Amino acid sequence: MTKYLFLLLAFSLLASAETTTRIKVLMGTFVTISIDSTDKKYIENGFNIISEVESSISSYDKQSQIYRLNRDKKSRINATAYEALSLSKEYYEKSDGYFDITIGSITKDLYRFGEQERVASSRELKNAVVDFNGLSFNKNEAQLQKNMKIDLGGMGKGFGVDKAADYFRKKKLDNVTIAASGDIRCLGVCHIEVQNPFNNGFLAAFDTLKLDSGVSTSGNYNRYVKSVKNNHLINPKSKASQDKFISITLISNMPSSDLDAYATAASVMPTEKAYEFLDTLDLAYIILQSDMKLVMSQNIFKFINNLLINNTPKK
* pLDDT at site 13: 54
CA pair distance 270, 308, nearest whole angstrom: 28
* pLDDT at site 202: 87
β-strands 141-144, 135-137: how paired? antiparallel
Contact (Cβ atoms closer than 8 angstroms) between residue 6 and residue 30: yes
Work out the number of other CB atoms within 10 angstroms of the CB of residue 95. Answer: 20
Q: Quick one: three-class SS letters along 259-298?
A: HHHHHHHHHCCCHHHHHHHHCCCCCEEEEEECCCCEEECC
* pLDDT at site 226: 61
Q: Which of 239, 293, 287 is closest to 267 using CA atoms?
A: 287
List the pLDDT tens digit at each of the 315 positions of the chain. Answer: 333 344 455 555 554 468 999 999 999 899 999 999 999 999 999 999 999 999 999 988 989 999 999 999 999 999 999 999 999 999 999 999 999 999 999 888 887 777 777 777 889 888 899 999 999 999 999 999 999 999 999 999 999 999 999 999 999 998 999 999 889 999 999 999 998 888 878 899 999 998 999 999 987 767 655 656 766 788 899 888 788 899 999 999 999 999 999 999 999 999 999 999 999 999 999 999 999 999 999 999 999 999 999 865 665
Which residue ranges form the domains of the chain, and what is each CATH number?
9-49+157-309 (3.10.520.10), 54-154 (1.10.3980.10)
Dihedral Cα 260, 304, 186, 39, nearest 10 deg: 170
* pLDDT at site 54: 96
The pTM for the full model equals: 0.92
